[in-house]
Structure 1
Amino acid sequence: MSIARALGNALSGLTATARGTETVAANIANASTPGYARRDLAVSAQTAGGNAGGVRVDGVTRAVNASVLSESRLAEAARANAATRLDFATRIEEAVGIAGNTGSLGSALSDFRTALSSAASRPDDDIRLTQVVDKATALADRLNAASDEVQAARSAADQAIASDIATLNKSLAQVADLNRKIAVLEADGSDPSSLYDQRQGIIGEIAKIVPVQEVTRTAGAVALFTAEGAVLLDGTMPTELSFTAAGQVTADRTAGSGLSMLVQNGAELTQSQMKLYAGGSLAANFAIRDELAPAAQDLLDDIALDLHGRLANPAVDPTLTASSAGLFTDGDARASAADKTGLAGRISVNDAVVESAGGEAWRIRAGLGAATPGAVGDASLLVAMSDALDAATTATAGTGFSGKASLADRLGAVESRIATTRVNAQSEAAVINSQADTITSRLAADGVDSDAEMQKLLQYEQAYAANARVIQAIQTMMDQILEI
């Protein structure tokens, strides 16, 4: 081997070790950077005239396990979906309150029943009659607050949908722009690894909103589809998504009737077409707004209608007619199953017994339609009201209840369903989080290993020293030749 060839081999080795050291340094520096993929230096033997000619640097490659990355994105979408549903279920359970806890709906009903019993033992005591009105008002207020919380959750979900769509549009535009930039760098022979990392991070954020599948295209570009097949980006222009937030959502507003659906490329999607976007936080928020929250509202409305009907019965209070409102009213009128939606948010105590509204508390004893206080010792209406609450009556038509049960038992069933929904959501979230964590660990195993990178650094150091000794030996030989 000639001195010139030996020198060329050594110099190529130094160049390769310098690039390798830079790669290791970049890996260690970005070990915790989201979306960063480990870099590996690709080298091969350089030949000249069939003889070895040193080391050729072929480039820097990104170490990414595509199948695990795809699983990770689907898992993150499922995690976001489960977390959103769990947050809603927890919020509604807190609004209704845990059975037996102070401030719960069940506790308000128990206090009302206790006040009725106390007043029945001393019907002549105006303070006890006033306490019945106060506890009835507190019960109505608890129903109102729970209903308001359900509708607030729907409003929050509606706003979250708008935010998700804005993020999707922005992120898809960024991916399309990165596709173009990567294509330019690929054509120039430059290293686009940092842009690949940036694009991977953006797609990861998209996956939390809607599960995505990535398909590689020419020149380093990618196309994005939802897990169910909807096109998000395939080419230079992303799919245009839009959504109009409703602002404040009320119980009477439903999907397609006061509430917007997702619009794709100018066309509003139907309920069946929305399945194309199932799986992430976007689908969870649509489910909360259009399915889960209305179901919770129905339960509260059923309880409100049952409460109203028990005390508006002329058999309980003979001073009432079939069209009269009882102790509890729907906007000062009698409630009906036909107009049940949102009743829990509207129910209130009849002004006839509220002193601040010009009413008289003695009507709790004498009857809502009574013209005079009657006998102060007559507790028959108070007893009848208490018995009506405790009676196992047939479910009111138009409600979701069945069979015979007391009001407390029906409320217990509602509390149980709401608590079960939260427990199921929590269990599902725990399973999904465990699966997602496992996949994330598998993905991290292909990431930067600091110990392995330090071993590579030692190898590069040894290679550098070997090539440096070759150059030093060549210099010594040249010095001896020049001295001859």
Structure 2
Amino acid sequence: MGLSSALASAMSGLRANQAALSIVSSNVANSQTPGYVTQTPNQIEVSTGDFGSTVVTTGVSRDLDNFVLGQLRTETAGSGYADQMANILKQLQNVYGNPGGSGTLETALNTFTNSLQALSTSAGSSSAQTVALAAAQSLAQQLNVSTKGIQSLRSNVEQDLGTSAQQANAAMQKVADINTKLQGLAASDPSAATLMDQRDQAINTLSKFVDVRVTVDGSNQANLYTTTGIQLVGAGLASQFTFASAGALTATSLYNIDPAKSTVGALNIKLPNGSQLDVVANNVVSSGQIAADLKLRDQTLVQAQNQLDQLAATMSSALSDKTTAGTATSTAPAGFDLDLAGSLPGNTVNITYTDTATNTQRQVTLVNVTDPAALPLQNAPNANPVQVGVNFSNGMAAIAAALNNALPSSHLAFSAAPSPATATTLRVTDDGSGLAKITSTSTTKTISSLTSGNPQLALFTDGGQALYTGAITSSGSQMTGLAGRIAVNTAVSADPTRLSVYNTSPVTPAGDTTRSDFLYSQLTNTVFSYSPQTGLGSANQPFTGSVSSYLQQFLSIQSNASTQATQLQQGQSVVVSTLQAKFNSTSSVSLDTEMSNLIQLQNAYAANAHLMSVVQNMMNTLIQAQI
């Protein structure tokens, strides 16, 4: 190797050392900077002839494990989802209160049923009537308060959706802006490394709110997608969430795929290509805080409200509704006559029959629907009972025709009962095929009079005066939000003796406990069937039980859901912490490693400097020899 080659090698070594020292200095200076990824110099050997070579620094590399980073982002989205679910469900538990505690729904119901039992024990004393009335009012108020609590949580979630959408937009726009700055820069460019650190931080922030899948193309442009394939960021372009808040939500504020019918805030996403999608209808997000907010607002908390409304509805109907068995026909074909007189909107006819072809028991519920815009009623697949809406105030011929058209495959036949039956009597028989055998029928009507001679009492009403009958209109079911409106009948509040007196002609005898016995039995012993929308049971096998057992069941389900959400939150926290530590072990700056590198660079610098000094001395010697 000649002196010139040796000098060139030494100089290139010094330049490489200088570049490496600059990188070490940057690593040390940014050791506490969030998102900074350790950099190492890219050095290559360049031949300078037959006998020598030099080293050239071509840029930097980021010490990044992309696989672990991808896992970390996935679990961060899962953690954002789990955190929000656990937080809101814990608050929902606070709405219900601790089991057995004062001021809880469970305690209010128990207090009320105990007061009814005491009313019977005391033979209807005026003081016991006053206590029972106060307990009923307390129970209604507790249902009102619980509804307010649930809707407050929904409103908070609605507000959080707007905040989360804005933060997600900011992160997506930052990624798009950095993509633009990275255009034309090599991935090994030190300035590009800094930008990529910032871009990764923005993506990490975004992953808290939505699930993110990242691909980087040959021009170092990050393309972001949700796991369902919706593009969030392209080359220099970002999608944008738009949220139109509905403000404070109520029990009737519900999502609908039809924007004209939806009464909650609309969350859409405007894609880089200009098209716009409904986030909920198109399942745009499946994880992250936004996905949790949507599930809480539109499903979890709506179901919690359904549970309260079902409790309020069942409790109201249990005390006020009278069920009367149909009258068996005396002529062939076998069937029953059902008197529809006095039926109110929402009152029902229940028919049980056996499908003889499959030996399967089926049920049909005819619902008195006076709003034609609410028809036909929708049923879940394989629903049992099947609900059919019809206006009971129409003539029997029209009612029968409507039912025959609605139930052609049931092998049931409907007609107006012949004389001497009244014009309000509906007859139901098989259609003569032998494929349906009717086993029982009944009508259920709401008793409005407080002194009808029946033990039934419309103690709980919709807002204090309007009877609860389960009416269905185009705006929905009367049951929706009932727990927030339920109140004690103002007529009973004005005259507590109605808790015992059920007839005025003749007057109910003093000490007669027929009504209080009935009310107590209805709430504690009578078995009811509950809607699958409460999360209990299914369409084929709905949950059945007393009012008390139903309350205990859904409170238990909510408690378990909160516990499981907290456990998931804790598990996700451990997973994220573990992945973060694994990522940091390769990507974060290690001061020990950097100090070791610094020592090596110092030694190499000294060696190169010494070589240059030796070459200089040798050249001076040669020059002097020539002189």
Q: TM-score by structure 1 length?
A: 0.86
The answer as to whether partners of 2:175 and 2:202 remain within 8 angstroms in 1 is yes
Provide the C-alpha distance between the structure 2 equivalents of 1:348 and 1:42, rounded to a whole number of angstroms.
77
Matched, 1:319 2:328: no
Deviation digits for residues 258-295 of structure 1, max 9, x if unmatched?
22242434534375522x32222222211112111211
Matched, 1:334 2:340: no
Provide the C-alpha distance between the structure 2 equivalents of 1:362 and 1:152, rounded to a whole number of angstroms.
37
One-letter code aligned to 2:319: L
Q: Secondary structure of 2:244's partner?
A: coil
The answer as to whether partners of 1:60 and 1:191 remain within 8 angstroms in 2 is no
Q: 1:409 aligns with which of 527, 549, 554?
A: 549
Residues 86 and 410 from structure 1, CA distance in 2 versus in 1: closer, same or farther, beyond 3 angstroms?
A: same
Within-5 A mapping of 1:16-35? 16-35=16-35
Provide the C-alpha distance between the structure 1 equivalents of 2:183 and 2:532, rounded to a whole number of angstroms.
62
Stretch deviating more after TM superposition (154-163 or 43-52): 43-52
For residue 38 of structure 2, what is the aligned residue in structure 1?
38
Matched, 1:262 2:268: yes
Larger Rg: 2
Provide the C-alpha distance between the structure 1 equivalents of 2:576 and 2:567, rounded to a whole number of angstroms.
14
For residue 490 of structure 2, what is the aligned residue in structure 1?
351
For residue 238 of structure 1, what is the aligned residue in structure 2?
238
Matched, 1:285 2:426: no
Q: Secondary structure of 1:255's partner?
A: coil
Deviation digits for residues 418-454 of structure 1, max 9, x if unmatched?
1222233334334444433333333222222333223
Q: Secondary structure of 1:341's partner?
A: coil
Within-5 A mapping of 1:4-403? 5-122=5-122, 128-186=128-186, 191-256=191-256, 257-259=262-264, 260-264=266-270, 265-269=274-278, 271-274=280-283, 276-313=284-321, 319-320=450-451, 326-331=458-463, 332-337=465-470, 338=472, 339-354=478-493, 359-366=494-501, 379-395=513-529, 402=542
For residue 438 of structure 1, what is the aligned residue in structure 2?
578
Stretch deviating more after TM superposition (117-126 or 173-182): 117-126
Provide the C-alpha distance between the structure 2 equivalents of 1:469 and 1:14, rounded to a whole number of angstroms.
11
Stretch deviating more after TM superposition (114-123 or 286-295): 114-123
Q: Secondary structure of 1:147's partner?
A: helix
Q: 2:591 aligns with which of 425, 450, 457?
A: 450
Provide the C-alpha distance between the structure 1 equivalents of 2:279 and 2:211, rounded to a whole number of angstroms.
19
Stretch deviating more after TM superposition (434-443 or 192-201): 434-443
Residues 232 and 124 from structure 1, CA distance in 2 versus in 1: closer, same or farther, beyond 3 angstroms?
A: closer
1:16 is displaced (CA, Å) by 2.6
1:131 is displaced (CA, Å) by 3.2
Provide the C-alpha distance between the structure 2 equivalents of 1:404 and 1:190, rounded to a whole number of angstroms.
69
Q: Secondary structure of 1:282's partner?
A: helix
For residue 459 of structure 1, what is the aligned residue in structure 2?
600
Q: Secondary structure of 2:55's partner?
A: strand
Structure 1 unaligned residues grouped into runs of 5+ = none
1:360 is displaced (CA, Å) by 4.0
Residues 376 and 10 from structure 1, CA distance in 2 versus in 1: closer, same or farther, beyond 3 angstroms?
A: farther
Provide the C-alpha distance between the structure 1 equivalents of 2:533 and 2:500, rounded to a whole number of angstroms.
30
Stretch deviating more after TM superposition (150-159 or 262-271): 262-271
1:199 is displaced (CA, Å) by 0.5
The answer as to whether partners of 1:353 and 1:361 remain within 8 angstroms in 2 is yes
Q: Secondary structure of 1:223's partner?
A: strand
Residues 399 and 481 from structure 1, CA distance in 2 versus in 1: closer, same or farther, beyond 3 angstroms?
A: closer
Q: Secondary structure of 1:219's partner?
A: coil
Provide the C-alpha distance between the structure 1 equivalents of 2:298 and 2:168, rounded to a whole number of angstroms.
21
One-letter code aligned to 2:595: M
The answer as to whether partners of 1:45 and 1:52 remain within 8 angstroms in 2 is no
1:40 is displaced (CA, Å) by 0.8
Stretch deviating more after TM superposition (84-93 or 203-212): 84-93
Stretch deviating more after TM superposition (256-265 or 412-421): 256-265
Provide the C-alpha distance between the structure 1 equivalents of 2:153 and 2:44, rounded to a whole number of angstroms.
60
The answer as to whether partners of 2:532 and 2:543 remain within 8 angstroms in 1 is no
Residues 311 and 66 from structure 1, CA distance in 2 versus in 1: closer, same or farther, beyond 3 angstroms?
A: same
Q: Secondary structure of 1:249's partner?
A: coil
Matched, 1:470 2:611: yes
Provide the C-alpha distance between the structure 2 equivalents of 1:50 and 1:132, rounded to a whole number of angstroms.
108
Provide the C-alpha distance between the structure 2 equivalents of 1:270 and 1:39, rounded to a whole number of angstroms.
39
Deviation digits for residues 223-276 of structure 1, max 9, x if unmatched?
1111111111222322343221111122222223222242434534375522x3
Q: Percent identity?
A: 25
Structure 2 unaligned residues grouped into runs of 5+ = 257-261, 324-446, 473-477, 537-541
Residues 392 and 379 from structure 1, CA distance in 2 versus in 1: closer, same or farther, beyond 3 angstroms?
A: closer
Provide the C-alpha distance between the structure 1 equivalents of 2:530 and 2:223, rounded to a whole number of angstroms.
55
1:342 is displaced (CA, Å) by 0.8
Larger fraction in strand: 2
1:398 is displaced (CA, Å) by 9.1
Provide the C-alpha distance between the structure 2 equivalents of 1:87 and 1:171, rounded to a whole number of angstroms.
24
1:106 is displaced (CA, Å) by 0.8
Provide the C-alpha distance between the structure 2 equivalents of 1:138 and 1:39, rounded to a whole number of angstroms.
67
The answer as to whether partners of 1:42 and 1:61 remain within 8 angstroms in 2 is yes
The answer as to whether partners of 2:179 and 2:221 remain within 8 angstroms in 1 is yes
Provide the C-alpha distance between the structure 2 equivalents of 1:45 and 1:120, rounded to a whole number of angstroms.
100
The answer as to whether partners of 1:320 and 1:326 remain within 8 angstroms in 2 is no
One-letter code aligned to 1:258: T
Question: What's the RMSD between the two structures over aligned residues?
Answer: 3.4
Provide the C-alpha distance between the structure 1 equivalents of 2:457 and 2:518, rounded to a whole number of angstroms.
17
Residues 384 and 459 from structure 1, CA distance in 2 versus in 1: closer, same or farther, beyond 3 angstroms?
A: same
Q: Secondary structure of 1:88's partner?
A: helix
1:460 is displaced (CA, Å) by 1.9
One-letter code aligned to 2:484: G
1:30 is displaced (CA, Å) by 3.0
For residue 390 of structure 2, what is the aligned residue in structure 1?
none
Q: Secondary structure of 2:62's partner?
A: strand
Provide the C-alpha distance between the structure 1 equivalents of 2:282 and 2:110, rounded to a whole number of angstroms.
46
The answer as to whether partners of 1:108 and 1:138 remain within 8 angstroms in 2 is yes
Matched, 1:422 2:562: yes
Greater RCO structure (CA 8 Å; 6+ sep):
1
One-letter code aligned to 1:384: F
Residues 218 and 159 from structure 1, CA distance in 2 versus in 1: closer, same or farther, beyond 3 angstroms?
A: same
Provide the C-alpha distance between the structure 2 equivalents of 1:395 and 1:227, rounded to a whole number of angstroms.
40
Residues 375 and 471 from structure 1, CA distance in 2 versus in 1: closer, same or farther, beyond 3 angstroms?
A: farther
Provide the C-alpha distance between the structure 1 equivalents of 2:9 and 2:561, rounded to a whole number of angstroms.
70
